[in-house]
Structure 1
Amino acid sequence: MTDTHCPYCSLQCGMTLAPRRARGGAVLEVRARPDFPVNEGALCRKGWTAGGLRGHRERLTTPLVRDRTTGELSAVGWDEALDLVAERITELRTASGDDSVAVFGGGGLTNEKAYLLGKFARVALGTSQIDYNGRWCMSSAASAGNQAFGVDRGLPFPLSDVEQADVVVLVGSNLAETMPPAARHLDRLRERGGRLVVIDPRLTTTGERADHLLQPVPGTDLPVALGLLHLLDAAGALDEDYLAERTTGFDDVRRSVAGWWPERVERVSGIAADDLREVAALLAGSERVMVLTARGAEQHSQGTATVLAWINLALGLGMCGKPFAGYGCLTGQGNGQGGREHGQKSDQLPGYRMIDDPAARAHVAGVWGVDPDSLPGPGRSAYELLDALGADGGPRALLVHGSNIVVSAPNATQVTDRLEALDLLVVADIVMSETAALADVVLPVTQWAEESGTMTNLEGRVILREQAVAPPEGVRSDLDVIAGLASRLGCEASFPLDPEEAFAELALASAGGRADYAGITYDRIRAEQGVFWPCPDAAHPGTPRLFADAFATADGRARALVVDHAGAAEQPDADYPVHLTTGRVLAQYQSGAQTRRITDLVDEGIFVELHPMLAGRIGARDGDQVEVSTRRGALKAPARVVSTIRPDTIFVPFHWVGANRLTNDALDPMSRMPEFKVCAAAIRHVASAQRVGAS
């Protein structure tokens, strides 16, 4: 048996894997691990069935290369596949320069993979064109955290602190379905008398737990925050001593929210003024208030501004740095935190150093043994990178590790067109995802139980996934792929194959950075149930809680920054009269490349959730086929008629091809986050449920 962690979300729940023989080969039995403090033995359906891809008939076990004449993929040996990739990369770099080759990573990659992928791009390829799908996860919260606090760590406290707050304000999160084991903390909060405020356009399983549920128009979480701060200031409920001692800029913020009286907020957001006043009174009378945001608040063209508004609220109440209080972001992807800290984001180097900082470049170049001037500068952000593929001046080749872009990218039809315009698309994956199906070269790589490596969960806790079983014959790790290509490209820098050796190098490269892992080792992680960064040396205990004495800014003070509401980039009109929002469902994860292939998780396919009033207006009943269209595309799916969503809003889960063909690619100016969470849409009735079934 092997103690390890779940392959899915950012909780990184502890579990034990027990390989056993079964008909058709070895399978992985998942068992509870009650000693890990994040989940205490609890797992969601996805966790319990995580071994389902072991021995799956769709598992990739040999490299595949597309014949340029027939267009068919056929099996080849590893040397042939890697030689071909290196040869074509060399041709493109010679003809069009280093930036003609791009790299796209994933928030599910281990820290070691993310680190070496960034090193590979900058040193072996010399390209600035690298980013990852985590740009679409919590980049807006990251941007806001860096601006306000001087550092970006999803939760600046352990998740269990939620239980000890007096009030938790949950903005844009369906925690009970997306991270079910974490919902126990909300339940314990309420058992001890705490209160829960949920802000979401839908009444979800999480919202059913709420003492106060606010259902705003999608894209209006920002004015809700501004209105609450206005009321708290007017009531004299702000912590003036804290603001004077620990913040700068709050007087400007105070003036900026003066015009956001409750009735104005009601007109913009749809939240009744009296409901807003009731929540403000609850916050004003509470000693420990915690504000948590997630993708519902962040995946907007004003996502960074929205998070900054909620941070201003927490600062105004004097909560940031206070025990069992403050602001935090609920990271989504398994390594959404660590994945951006160590170099696969276009503007960052290991340790959360910025790539345009000369001192940062010098430090990392010293670890890598290269000239700092040889490192490229910042590249395009994720969507901008994909949108430039195959275009004049854009990359001609793309290497994809750990991402299913065809399903997950906004305005996905446009992105698919750009992928098809490439001279070379290489995808490393465990199954034939929708993106791999377009590739010129497909490389079969190990899944989580077949390799070791570290992840950084939503708390900033660095944990270790231990290898439990050997990979299938013919499958290699991403570390092998990276090292093999680097060698064939003539790169003399080291690319370790052993993950522990790679982590030791990562620790050196991160030393002195904002995300400092220098004092963390595999042995410490095993002994301590994970280690919280920053941890600058072996004697340091790690940092479970940030900001108790100072923020990570030059003067130790938090920055309160003025923001205002501009609204979604695309507003409803006569042709597209309703709001479309997207999100996750309990049984599926991200693009569904893994979970859609596990029999025990296949409950249903894509659906369209809408209110009975809207259903009546278009003549649809529950189960009928409806068509949703936006300015970018359309999809047909069964209707799910519920009274728990706003009448002016429809919801579509994004785990299947189709949802992100509809979403808007408008970008946040600071984080470059696309506006996944709201766009203008039309909906019409197509066929009755009986006729759909008959066909």
Structure 2
Amino acid sequence: MAKLPVDPEKLVADFGPHLNYTPREGYAGRDEPDKSVPTHCCFCGMQCGIKLLVKENRVVGFEPWMEFPFNEGRLCPKGVQRYLQDNHPDRLLSPLKRAEGKGFEPVSWDAAMEQTVNAIRRIQEQYGKDAFSVLSGVSLTNEKSYLMGKFARVALKTKNLDYNGRLCMVSAGAGNKKAFGLDRGSNNYSDLKGAEVIFICGANVSETFPTLTYWLWQARDLGAKLIVADPRLIPLARTADLHLDVRPGTDSALYGAMLKYLVDNDLLDHDFINQHTTGFDATIAAVKDYTLEWAETVTGVSKEKIRQAAEWWGKAKTSFLLHARGIEHHSKGVDNVLSCINLVLATGRIGKPYCGYATITGQGNGQGGREHGHKCDQLPGNRDINNPEHRQYIAGVWGIDEKELPGQGYTAYELIEAIHRGEVKGLLSICFNPLVSLPNNNFVREALEKLEFYVAIDFFLNETARYADVVLAGSLHEEEDGTVTTAEGRVTRIRQAVTPPGNARTDTAIILELAARLGAADKFSYNSSEDIFNELRIASKGGTADYYGITYEKIEKNMGVFWPCPTLDHPGTPRLWEDRKFATPDGKAHFNPVNYRPPGEVTDEDYPVVLTTGRVVSQYLSGTQTRRIGKLVDQFPEPLLEIHPELAARYGIRQREKVKVVTRRGEAEFPANIVATIRKDTVFIPYHWPGRKSANQLTPGTLDPVSKIPEFKVCACRLEPSGQISQPGTETAFDSI
């Protein structure tokens, strides 16, 4: 067998203690795998390259894919162990139906499909087409995202379709469209290495996107200054040049004050502003009173830190600003995003080498999944479902009359509200676990109980699927061919490594059969994922997310292609806006005035502490996959209440003491983890767990008025220590941080 292209000792050093890698020759008695399949990780938007080792149609391990240009073989703890879910005993191997008094029992595909289609027809005949709804997921490939949008609108003929990217990237998308006319980060991440200043806003990169950290260290080695804005002293902030410990919900005040400092000290790119932007005067007028002293009072960040951040940003020749859910999960998430973009535009550092702006995508296909049509307000190519020309074009691609194309429906949380009040009676979900991931989940549970029929497509019986009438056993990431679009905007290939086990089917096969049984077989006559992608290419042509020039062959040859790529001979676009022609109607980038307003819920005497939520390194989103991987569970087996020593002392809270956290929605109990790495007025709970361990029992359903993203990051609470120390054996490695 060929040797690995690197020394094993260097490999272990590069990957860290989670890898424990040995060349395959070292396993005495172990058979050689049948094949090694280059593909991508199934988790976050980095979509790191990985090679899956397959034996007898089972994934049995992995090798680093050293040649893939983003991660170059590096993987995080989740990526290293992702393959362990493939053969988990919880894997759904056949369709299930609810049996009264018995839970679920296996059923034939024909019976499951017949029950599902009969229920859909009954509900739509009785209540109307829009009474049946769809919730989709952005762990799906581009092909399946496109398919779900078309299925809902052509086969089901319902307007009520949305996706779990509504909990992830929609504030970033709305801000990008307002400012640039196009929803994608401006640069690939290799541009980070030449930036003099890197500003990370609300992104716990080291834990949630660990392989991106490599590019930050490259920049640091070359002398870059790193600024991190976050309420917690996250791992990345511990080595940053400047940490802005912003009070949750006050982000736009911080960035607005920095913008005013740039103006007052003439740290602006006047040529860029005058020639390539609009709206600057109105934007400056909105922050005219944002003094450093005012910002210190509002944000809790010292005025000296704010001044230093603004000076470094303003005086740099090259810079890169990145943000993620920390500034987006707010009832004013779009405002926060626009405040960041205003800083970038004011200094003109965009569309040039080592000068950029990027939104770090949280979910596996969070970028591609928000481009091709399973959002309630969107059609493929990132077209607007309310635009007559856009509707006409897509209707033509799909072979239907434009009048048959439904209009805009409810967003994800609004859909739950519609179910709750009886307006929506049926639901199909795929790779979405709203009972864990949506806010105010006791309200979500009540809605699920009101549904007349619910069918879930998934590969594990997640917490939400337990409320289903029918569960259709679907496919894992590596069980179908397809493409995903990384956080950089790079379209990459997902290669089928194995076929679904038992009597499970691919998600695509399930949807195509449902469409056929609903009478739309002629509109869904695909023979492969590549057939679907080729139709997606046509559907996206001329849209802002133009994939027309991208083919499977081109992706293979180049290890990915950056969109937009409008023609077959186009090389793709790793760096946007180099020609200074933005995708707005006037061709200019738009400043947007932002007036600071408080979060939807503020503290008071009854609820005096701010609760914020987020992720930990060993878990992913609702935990459906990572909570089934033993070593990841061992690393962080339960959610802990992160609390500052001074706040803990005020309440008499001891390490590992169970503390009841009470909000206006409910209450839940968590062991305390006393750390000096969080603000003294704030507590933090990770959200990856269900039931009594769910942080989202507590969070509000307040939505951003533009993006309709929930405000997960700011919640008023009170703390009630129980006096009981949690049982021995549940300690984690994080207790001593």
Q: Which TM-score tier does this pair reach, normalised by the shorter chain?
A: over 0.9
Equivalent AA in structure 2 for residue 644 of structure 1: T
**CA–CA distance in 2 between the matches of 1:17 and 1:248?**
49
- Measured in 2, the distance between the counterparts of 1:320 and 1:189 equals 17
Alignment equivalent of 1:599, drawn from 626, 630, 652:
630
Please state if 1:16 is matched with 2:51: yes
Distance 2:59 2:349 in 1: 48
Per-residue deviation, 1:390: 4.7
Match of 1:571 in 2: 602
Q: 1:60 aligns with which of 92, 95, 120?
A: 92
Contact 2:59 2:498 in 1 (8 A): no
Selected match of 2:695 from 654, 659, 664: 659
Q: How does 1:94-493 map to 2 (within 5 A)?
A: 94-153=125-184, 155-392=185-422, 394-491=423-520, 492-493=522-523
Q: Is the 8 A contact 2:671 2:726 kept in 1?
A: no
Residue in structure 2 matched with residue 619 of structure 1 by the alignment: 652
Alpha-carbon distance between aligned partners in 2 of 1:266 and 1:496, rounded to the nearest angstrom: 58
Higher deviation after alignment, 319-328 or 38-47: 319-328
Q: Which runs of 5+ in 1 are unaligned?
A: none
Q: Secondary structure at the match of 1:121?
A: helix
Name the residue aligned to 1:4.
Answer: 39
Per the TM alignment, residue 361 of structure 1 is displaced from its structure 2 partner at its CA by 1.1
The letter for the 1-side match of 2:401 is D
8 Å CA contact 2:61–2:83 kept in 1: the answer is yes
Q: Which moved more, 1:483-492 or 1:185-194?
A: 483-492
> Counterparts of 1:511-522 in structure 2 under 5 Å?
511-522=541-552
Q: What is the number of equivalent residue pairs in this alignment? A: 688
Aligned equivalents of 1:284, 1:509: Cα separation in 2: 42
1:13·1:39 contact (CA, 8 Å) conserved in 2? yes
Amino acid at match of 1:79: D
Report SS of the residue matched to 1:605: coil
Give the 3 Å change call, closer, same or farther, for CA 136–439 of structure 1 in structure 2. same
Using the alignment, how far apart are the partners of 1:443 and 1:588 within structure 2? Answer: 25
CA contact (8 A) 2:313 2:319 kept: yes
Instruction: Please list the CA deviations of residues 496-520 of structure 1 after superposition, one character each: whole Å capped at 9, or x if unmatched.
Output: 2511111111111111111111111
Over 6 Å off, 4+ runs: 690-694
1:464 is paired with a residue whose SS is strand
Q: Following superposition of structure 1 onto structure 2, how do residues 571-590 of structure 1 map, counting pairs within 5 Å?
A: 571-590=602-621
In the alignment, the residues of structure 1 paired with residue 201 and residue 726 of structure 2 have an alpha-carbon distance, to the nearest angstrom, of 39
Are the equivalent residues in 1 in contact too, given 2:260–2:291 (CA < 8 A)? Answer: yes
Query: How far, CA to CA, are the matches of 1:497 and 1:88 in structure 2?
Result: 28
- Listed one character per residue, the Cα deviations across residues 558-607 of structure 1 (whole Å, up to 9, x for unaligned) are 11111111111000111111000000000000000000000111122111
User: Structure 1's 451 and 686: CA in aligned 2 closer, same or farther, altered over 3 A?
Assistant: same
The answer as to whether partners of 2:658 and 2:726 remain within 8 angstroms in 1 is no
3-state SS of paired residue (1:206): helix
Other structure's SS at 2:235 match: coil
Question: What displacement does 1:170 show?
Answer: 0.4
For residues 440-494 of structure 1, give each alpha carbon's deviation from its aligned partner in whole angstroms, at most 9, with x where no partner exists: 1111111012111110110111001101112202011111111111111112312
Out of 673, 676, 690, the residue aligned to residue 712 of structure 2 is: 676
How many Å separate the matches in 2 of 1:497 and 1:80? 24
Greater Cα offset, 647-656 or 553-562: 553-562
690 and 561 in structure 1: CA distance in 2 versus 1, 3 angstrom threshold: closer
1:558 partnered with 2:589:
yes
Structure 2: distance between partners of 1:214 and 1:433: 38
Q: Which moved more, 1:616-625 or 1:569-578?
A: 616-625
Residue 722 (structure 2) aligned to one of 665, 686, 695: 686
Q: Is the 8 A contact 2:420 2:446 kept in 1?
A: no
Residues 48, 244 of structure 1: CA spacing in aligned structure 2 closer, same or farther, 3 A cutoff?
same
Alignment pair present for 1:37 and 2:66: no
Q: CA deviation at 1:432?
A: 1.1
For 1:59, the aligned partner's letter is R
CA distance in 1, matches of 2:424, 2:505: 26
Q: For residue 23 of structure 2, what is the aligned residue in structure 1?
A: none
Taking structure 1 as reference, are residues 242 and 656 closer, same or farther at Cα in structure 2, changes over 3 Å only?
Answer: same
> Considering only aligned residues, what root-mean-square deviation do their CA atoms show, in Å?
1.3
* Contact 1:483–1:497 (CA under 8 A) maintained in structure 2: no
Stretch moving more, 378-387 or 495-504: 495-504
What residue ranges of structure 2 are gaps of 5+ in the alignment?
Answer: 1-35, 731-737
The corresponding residue for 2:532 is 502
8 Å contact from structure 1 (residues 611, 642) kept in 2? yes
- Whichever residue aligns with residue 304 of structure 2, its letter is D
Q: Give distance in 1, aligned partners of 2:548 and 2:418.
A: 37
| 8 Å contact from structure 2 (residues 186, 350) kept in 1 | no
Secondary structure of the corresponding residue to residue 251 of structure 1: helix
- Structure 2-normalised TM-score? 0.92
Kindly provide the CA deviation profile for residues 627-651 of structure 1, in whole angstroms up to 9, marking residues without a partner as x.
1111011111111000000010000
For 2:80 and 2:193, the matched residues in 1 are separated by 25
The equivalent of 1:631 in structure 2 is 664
Q: Distance in 2 between matches of 1:238 and 1:254?
A: 12
Kindly state the Cα deviation for residue 688 of structure 1 after the two structures are TM-superposed. 3.2
Which residue, 626, 638, 641 being the options, matches 1:608? Answer: 641
After the TM superposition, which of the residue ranges 485-494 and 514-523 deviates more from structure 2?
485-494
The whole-number CA distance in structure 2 between the counterparts of 1:654 and 1:690 is 19
**Shift of residue 71, structure 1, vs aligned partner:** 5.8
Pair 83,223 (structure 1): closer, same or farther in 2 beyond 3 Å: same
Q: Helix, strand or coil: the match of 1:688?
A: strand
Mapped contact 2:253–2:596 kept (Cα < 8 A)? yes
The one-letter code matched in structure 2 to 1:409 is: L
Deviation at 1:53, TM superposition (A): 1.3
Contact preservation (8 Å) 1:148, 1:559:
yes
> Partner letter of residue 165 of structure 2?
G
- The reply on whether 1:83 has 2:114 as its aligned counterpart is yes
Which is worse superposed, 383-392 or 97-106?
383-392
Amino acid at match of 2:258: L
Identity of aligned pairs, percent?
A: 45
SS in 2 for 1:49: helix
Q: Matches of 2:314 and 2:566 in 1, distance apart?
A: 38
- Kept in 1, the 8 Å contact 2:548–2:565? The answer is yes
Question: Following the alignment from structure 2 to structure 1, what is the Cα–Cα distance between the partners of residues 504 and 398?
Answer: 28
Deviation at 1:160, TM superposition (A): 1.2
Would the aligned equivalents of 1:200 and 1:214 in 2 still touch at CA under 8 Å?
A: yes
TM-score (norm 1): 0.97
Cα offset for 1:20? 3.3
Contact 1:166 1:286 in 2 (8 A): yes
